[in-house]
Amino acid sequence: MKTKNNPQIVTAGIIEKDGMILIGKRKEGKHHSGKWEFPGGTLEEGETHEECLKRELHEELAVDADIGELYCIGEHVLTPEWTIRLFAYRVNRISGILKAEEHEEIKWVRVAELADYEFPEADRPIVEKLISEYGSM
């Protein structure tokens, strides 16, 4: 989808463990509060996508991460002036103790359960791709 604006670039991590995916619930008062998302955040000037995601996972979850391959890209036009382009990467490894620093809560869910959670529009292509690839795991 093409708009007149420059999209806001956001990264997200697909963190898997024992057939489960980590998701976080956005805090009250934030855009999309109460919705679930894949941990990550907004690209800062001069960062690569991988550097951004590594930084964001440290800030949001208090973990160090090895960022893997690009999994998929989601995009959502919120207004003619504001588009979100979300780059989702597989996370190969995390170290540290997970803490919900920026989320109301975090939880591990089975891929098939992702459909039971409300995600922002930009995250939906990630959810759909995971469900189509993993089925009812």
Which CATH superfamily groups domain 8-134? Nucleoside Triphosphate Pyrophosphohydrolase (3.90.79.10)
Tens-digit pLDDT profile for residues 13-72: 999 999 899 999 998 877 667 899 999 999 999 999 999 999 999 999 999 999 999 999
Dist. CA 119–CA 101, nearest whole Å: 19
What count of Cα atoms within 13 Å lies in the side-chain half-sphere of residue 67? Answer: 21
Model confidence pLDDT, tens digit, residues 77-135: 888 888 899 999 999 999 999 999 999 999 999 999 999 999 998 999 999 999 998 86
Distance CA 12, CA 52 (A): 9
Domain boundaries, the chain: 8-134
**Radius of gyration in angstroms for the set of CA atoms belonging to the chain, rounded to a whole number:** 14
